[in-house]
Structure 1
C-alpha cells in the first residue's frame, strides 16, 4: 500500500531552520509573517477558555499557511459507535463502503497533523450523505453525495463534535476548511432508455433502493420527482441525465456528472437554500474557509451570488464570514482542467472562475494545470521548460491576481497518488518544489507516509491500511516533509517572494532553477530532475558576484555550491535527482577571473543543424583537460582533444538525436578548474528514415483470452469497443520508435487529460541481450512464449509511466523510468500514437526489440486494473474469474528486424 521500506536514505534533507537536521515541533509551525494575527488568536483563546467553544477567530494570512487535507472516513476512527448505521453501508474491507473514520478521529490526531507543520485542516464534506447507491454499488463515504446540507452525517459525529474540532483547531492557532458541494446531491434519480429533453419525465426513474432515504431529506431538495407536477414545476433540479459531451457548454452547466442529481442553481429558491445551508456552517461551527467541489459545472453568476450576494436574510458567504469577525474567508474551487505542454487552455478555464472586478467569484482555484505539469516533469521526466511555462502562467497577475493564495498539490483523493506513478526520489523532489513555489501547499493525508493507494486509510481498521496504524511521526517521509514545511514557514521569502525562473532544460529532464525574492531576501532553488548527474552552467542568479550562499535544504548532494561566481552566475554539478535551496547571505567576497579561459569560435546559439557539425574553439592554458557536455549530461561527456596551441575541434552528434526538430544545449567544461564556456542552445533537425511495420488485428476480438469477457455494465461503457485493437503500425528509425494503435472505437467520456479513456494500454518491450521477465505484473498474465520484457509502458486516461524490471512482481510494475512517451490522439480515425526516445532506454536503435501490447481498463481512484468476475458489475469486467488474465485484447509480439 505504501513504499516506506525502500526509502533511499542516501537522499536526505539535511538542513532546515538554523541548520538542524530535524526541527522541533514548535519551530515547524512558527509564524513567518503577520505574527499579530496569531497572537490575537491566542489571546482570544486564552480569554474564552471558560466561555464555550472557540468557534470564531480572525482570518489568518492565508499565503503563509500549510493545509493538511483529510478524507474523514479514511483518516481516523475516534468513535466506533457510529461506524455501522445498519444499512449495509459499513465494510472496511471494501473500498466501496464506509470504513469508520470520523470527526473525533481528527480531533484525536491533531498533534500528528500539527507536528507535520500544517496550520489548517481541510476536511471532506461532513454533511449527511446518501449512504448507499444500489445503482452504482457504492457508498457516499467520501461525503460528496449530499442528502441534507445542514446536518452532520451520522457516521462522522454530531454538530457538537464538529464544533469541538473547530474549537480544538482554533486553540492551537490552526484553521478549519470545509469541503462543500453546491452543484449536486446524491444519485436519487436517473433515466432509462433515451433521454428526451422535450419530455424529461419519459424514462425518469427514482432510485428507490437508495439508503438511508430515496430522496434528500432537506427542503427544497426533497422535491425531486420529475413525474410529480408540483416537483417538476418547482424546478429545483435541471432534470437532465449524465453529461455525454464535456465540450458542450449547456451539458457542462446543466447536466449531471456521474449520475449525481444536478441542482438548478439559476433558481432563486435553490440559491437561497444553498446560501442558507453553507452560511450555517460558518456561523454554527466557525469554518474559516471553503473548498468548493465541481465548480466548473455551475454557471458563473451563481458563484458571484453565492459568495458575494447581499441578500438581507441570506447573504453571500463573505458577508456571513465578516459578521463572525473573519475578513478573509478562503474560498478555492475544484476546476479540474489541465493544459497540454506549452498551452494555457486549463489556466484560462480555471481563471475564469475568479470572476472580474465588477462580478467577482471565487477567491482562488486549485492548481490543476500545475499539478499535471509537476506529474509530467518531476514524475515523468518531461522537459523542465514545460514547468517554466506553467509556473509563468500560475504567477501571472493578469490571470491570477493573487498567486500566493492558489492551493498547490501533487495528488489528492480523486487522482492517482504521485508515488503510484513515480519514483521515491521524484516524490521527494516534487515535495521540495511544492514547498518552495508561491501558493498554499496542500498535503493530502498519507503523503507524509509515502502512500501509493489513493484512498487508503491511516487507521489500522480502515480500508487499505493493512491492519496497521500509520500515524508514525518518526518515519522517513514524515520527518522529511516536516523539515521541508519548517524550511518554508521559517523563511518568509519562500511564502512571500516573487518567482523568477533562471534556467531549465528544453530537451528533457535536467536542470530546473528559480529564484524567490523579496525586497530583503533572495533564495535560489536548484533541481536536477534527471537520473544522471548534470552540469549547471551559466546560470544567472540575479545575485551579486561573490555572494555567499547558505543551503537551508539539500537533498541528494553533500557539498552544494557556496558562492555566486563572476557576473552573478553559478557553475556547479548536481547529482541525479538532487535539490538544493540556497539563501543569499550578506557576506560578499571580491572575486576575479581564474587562469582558465575557454573560447568557442563556431556560431552555435540559436542555430539549427541538420547533420553532424564541427565546432572549433580554444582554451588556455593549452594543457587544460576539456570535455564537451551535451544537454548538460555529465554521464560519459565527450573528451575534447586540445592541440598544443590550445585549439580544439569537436563534433556535435546531430545524427544521435531523435527525429524532428529538437532543442539541445552544449557546453565545453574544464572540470578540474571549475570553468565552462557559455551554455549554447541550438536545434537539431532531421527527417525520419526508418522502417514501417503494419500488423492487422481482428475486429471484435476484445473479449479476453477465453472469448467470454464482457465490458463494464455502467451506461458510460454501453456499445464500447474501446479496448479492441484493429491495427498496430510500428515506425522505427534511429533512436525514435512510434506505435500507432487503431482502435475499433475511442472515448473521451470522462474528459481524460491524455485524450482517451475507457482503455488502458500495457505495452511490453523486449530488448535483445538483456535478462527480462515473463511475468506480467498486476494483470495475472504470462508473456507469450519466447518473449521476456525489459520495459513496460503503462498508460490510461490520466497516467503515463514507463517501468523497468527492478522490483517487478505480481503486484508491482517495477522501477520507474523517467521520460513519458509522447501521446497523440486522432479521434476521427480512432488512432492513438505513442512515441519513444531511445535515449530514455539507453538505446541508440530499436532494431531487435520486440513489442507486445495488451488492453484493459484502469480505475485511477482505486489505483487498480478494473476487477474481473463471472457476473461483472457497473465498473468491473465480466466473464472470468479474479485470477484470470486481465487482457481484453492483445497484439504481438512483433520483432523490429535489423536493417541490412
Structure 2
C-alpha cells in the first residue's frame, strides 16, 4: 500500500506543480526587464542613473516584486528578467560594469547584487500568486573574463579541457564560429565545449536545480550562444538535452534576419522557440519613418514563416530589446510604433514588450537602450494605455475559446499605405503613413458578410461591411491602427460599452487580470495538495 501511495504521489504532484509547457506559453504576453533598471528598493533614494556610465543603478528582485502592479495592470501575464547567476566582480572594464547580468562567472551561484535566494523565491511566488509566469535569461555557451588565459577556479567549470582553446573568430568559417571565443581582448568570453560530456551533464544538472529551486516557468537563451549573424555558436543537439533537463519552455535569441537560417533553431531537435528577428527587421522596414515602407515584405515573411518555422505561433514578437536601438531612436513618428505594436499582438506569436517601450524611451544601441525606468514615474502614458488595451483584448480572445490563438494570421490586403491582417475573426488594419492627416484610405477585403457590423476596439468606432466584404478605413485624422471584430463577438469583452467577462480559472489560458496559470499557486494548488494528501493518508492506513 505504501508503494501505491508513492506511485500516486510521484504521478500527481508533478501534474499539480508541473512546469509551464510551450503550449501554455503560447497564450502569454511577456514584459522584459533588466533587473538593475526596472525599479529601486522601497527604502532607496532615487538616483540619476547615468546610462552612459555603464554601472549599477540599484534595481533588485525585491524591487520588481514590489512594483508588479505596473506590469499586471497593463495586462501582461509573464515577465522575463535578466540573468540571475553570479557575474564578474573586479576592476571596471573598458565596457563598464556587469550591471546587465550577462557576464557570467559561476552560474551555480546567484548574483547578490540583485538580492538573495529568498528574494528570488519571493518574486517567483508573487508572480504565481497573481497567475503570472517567470522567465529567466540564461547564459550557457561562455563565461566572462578580462584575459585570454583566465584563472578558471572561480567558474562553474574549472578544467581547461572543458573550454575551447582561445582563438579569435574567423567569420564565415564554421569551425571557428563554433569553437573560438566571442568578445575581444578587453572582455573575453571563454567558450565552453558543449560537446564535452562533463559540460553537458554539468549544465543539465544546474538548470534542472535552478528551475526547481526557484519555480521558473521558462528560459530565454541569451544570444551570446549564437553568432551575431549566423547562429552556429553551439551545436544544435545540445539544446534538447539542456531544455529537456530544465523541463520548461525555451526561447532562444538567434540574431539573424534570414528566415532559412533562423528557422533551423526551432523544433524537436533544437529549441521550442526563438525571438522573431526576421519579422523584426521587416517591421522596421515597413513602418519606421524614415524608412522603405516595404509592406509587401511583411506578407512575404508571414508566408515564409509558415513554410519554414515549425510553429510560428510560438515565436517571440518584439520591437525593442537590450541589443537593438529603441524604436523612437530611428522612427520619428509615434504612430509608427502604435501600428507596428498592434502587429506584434494581433499576429502569430508571443508578444514581448521591453521595459520602457511603453514609455516611449528613445535610447540608441548599448548602453543607451538600457535606461532606468523610474524617471518615467511609471506613467499611464498613451503607449502604456495602448499596451493595456492590446493585452486586454488578446486575453479576451484567448479566454473566449474561439480558436483565435491557433488560427494562422493571413494578409488580406497590401497597399502603398499599409496592410490588412486577419487572425481568427479579428481584422487589424495597419498603416505606414504616420501621424499627419492624409486624404487617403485603405480598403480591406474580408470574409465578413455584407452589411454586418464591426467595431474598432481602440476607438469604439463602428465600420459597416460593404459589398464583397469590403471595409474602408480613411486617414483624414492621421494614421492610427484599427482592430475590428464583429459586434456579435464583443459580448463580455469589456470593450466599447460591453460588460467584462467574469474571470474563471481555466488552468491553461491567460485571462484578463492575469488569471490563468496556477497549477503551482493560490487556493487551487493548496486545495489540490490537501485533497491529494487526504487520499494518500487514507490509502496508507
TM-score by length of 1: 0.47
Q: Which residue does the alignment assign to 2:154?
A: 217
Query: Is residue 391 of structure 2 the alignment partner of residue 485 of structure 1?
Result: yes
RMSD over aligned CA atoms reads 3.1
TM superposition shift of 1:215: 4.3
Measure the CA separation in 1 of the matches of 2:392 and 2:446. Answer: 24
Alpha-carbon distance between aligned partners in 1 of 2:302 and 2:439, rounded to the nearest angstrom: 24
SS at match of 1:142: coil
Whether 2:343 is the aligned partner of 1:433: answer yes
In 2 relative to 1, CA 276–96 (structure 1 residues): closer, same or farther, beyond 3 Å? same
Please give the secondary structure, in 2, of the residue aligned with 1:498: coil
Cα distance, 1:434–1:471 mapped onto 2, change above 3 Å: farther
**Distance change >3 Å, CA 372–CA 131, structure 1 → 2:** farther
Shift of 1:181: 1.0
Distance 1:93 1:361, change over 3 A: closer
Look up the SS of the partner of 2:423 in the other structure.
strand
Change (3 A) 1:137 1:57: closer
1:289-312 residue CA offsets vs partner (Å, 9 max, x unmatched):
00001343111121132223xxxx
Q: How far did residue 79 of structure 1 move?
A: 7.4
TM-aligned CA distance change 1:132 to 1:391, over 3 Å = farther
Aligned length: 452
Offset from partner CA, 1:727-763 (integer Å, 9 cap, x none): xxxxxxxxxxxxxxxxxxxxxxxxxxxxxxxxxxxxx
Other structure's SS at 1:129 match: coil
d(CA) in 1 for partners of 2:355 and 2:364? 10
| Contact 2:359–2:379 under 8 Å retained in 1 | no
Q: 1:499 aligns with which of 396, 402, 409?
A: 409
- The DSSP-based 3-state class of the residue aligned with 1:514 is strand
Instruction: Tell me which residue corresponds to 2:293.
Output: 382
Q: Distance in 1 between matches of 2:90 and 2:355?
A: 24
**SS of structure 2 residue aligned to 1:300:** coil
Q: Shift in Å at residue 411 of structure 1?
A: 0.7
**Aligned-residue offset at 1:101:** 1.1
Per-residue displacement from partner, 1:138-192 (whole Å, max 9, x unpaired)? 22211111111111111011111111111010011011001011111012432xx
Match of 2:466 in 1: 565
- SS of 1:553's partner is coil
Structure 1 residues 127 and 143, CA, compared in 2 at 3 Å: closer, same or farther?
same
Q: Distance in 2 between matches of 1:353 and 1:419?
A: 30
CA distance in 2: counterparts of 1:570 and 1:93, whole angstroms: 46
User: Are the structure 2 counterparts of residues 464 and 350 from structure 1 closer, same or farther at C-alpha, using a change threshold of 3 Å?
Assistant: closer
What is the aligned partner in structure 1 of residue 525 from structure 2? none
Which position in structure 1 is the counterpart of 2:256?
A: 337
Does structure 1 conserve the Cα–Cα contact (< 8 Å) formed by 2:54 and 2:96? Answer: yes
1:283 aligns with 2:283: no
Indicate if the aligned counterparts of 1:79 and 1:102 stay in contact, CA closer than 8 A: no
Equivalences for residues 765-784 of structure 1 within 5 A: none
Q: How far off its partner does 1:282 sit?
A: 0.9
Corresponding residue to 1:119 among 68, 77, 95: 77
Q: Which has the higher strand share?
A: 1
Secondary structure in structure 2 of the residue aligned to 1:178 = strand
In structure 2, runs of 5+ residues without a counterpart are 1-12, 490-541
The alpha-carbon distance between structure 1 residues 473 and 93, as it changes in their structure 2 partners (threshold 3 A), is closer
Question: Quick one: distance in 1 between partners of 2:407 and 2:475?
Answer: 25
2: CA distance between counterparts of 1:488 and 1:216?
49
Q: Please identify, of 175-184 and 381-390, the stretch whose mean Cα deviation from structure 2 is larger.
A: 381-390
> Does the CA contact (< 8 Å) of 2:363 and 2:370 recur in 1?
no
Residue aligned with 1:146, SS? coil
* 2:173 pairs with 1:248: yes
Aligned equivalent of 2:30: 67
Which residues of 2 match residues 180-259 of structure 1 at below 5 A?
180-190=138-148, 205-206=149-150, 215=152, 217-219=154-156, 221-223=157-159, 231=160, 235-245=161-171, 247-258=172-183, 259=188
Query: Is the partner of 2:167 in helix, strand or coil?
Result: coil
Conservation of the 8 A alpha-carbon contact between 1:540 and 1:570: yes
| Structure with larger RCO (C-alpha < 8 A, sep 6+) | 2
Deviation digits for residues 507-561 of structure 1 (CA, Å, limit 9, x no counterpart): xx512101112xxxx1111122114342324x3212222222122124xxx956x
Structure 1 partner of 2:321 = 412
Contact 1:55 1:167 (8 Å CA) reproduced: no
SS at 1:252's partner residue?
helix
Distance 1:55 1:61, change over 3 A: closer
Rounded to whole Å, the distance in 2 between the matches of 1:455 and 1:387 is 24
The answer to whether the 8 A contact 2:105-2:154 is kept is yes
Give the Cα separation in 1 of the matches to 2:338 and 2:328.
10
CA distance in structure 2 between the partners assigned to 1:510 and 1:347 by the alignment: 25
Residue 147 to residue 57, structure 1, CA distance change in 2 (3 Å): same
Alignment match, 1:171? 129
Residues 1:516 and 2:423 are matched in the alignment: yes
Report the 3-state secondary structure (helix = DSSP H, G, I; strand = E; otherwise coil) of the residue aligned with 1:128.
coil
Please give the alpha-carbon distance, in whole angstroms, between the structure 1 residues aligned to 2:367 and 2:28. 25
Kindly state the Cα deviation for residue 265 of structure 1 after the two structures are TM-superposed. Answer: 0.7
Over residues 690-732 of structure 1, what are the superposed CA-to-partner deviations in whole Å (9 max), with x where a residue is unaligned?
xxxxxxxxxxxxxxxxxxxxxxxxxxxxxxxxxxxxxxxxxxx
What SS does the aligned partner of 2:255 have?
Answer: coil
Q: Residue 371 of structure 1: CA displacement?
A: 0.8
Match 1:400 to one of 303, 309, 315: 309
Query: In the TM superposition, what is the alpha-carbon distance from 1:402 to its structure 2 partner?
Result: 2.2
Per-residue deviation, residues 615-662 of structure 1 (Å, max 9, x unmatched): xxxxxxxxxxxxxxxxxxxxxxxxxxxxxxxxxxxxxxxxxxxxxxxx
2:531 corresponds to? none
Which residue of structure 2 lines up, in the alignment, with residue 354 of structure 1? 266
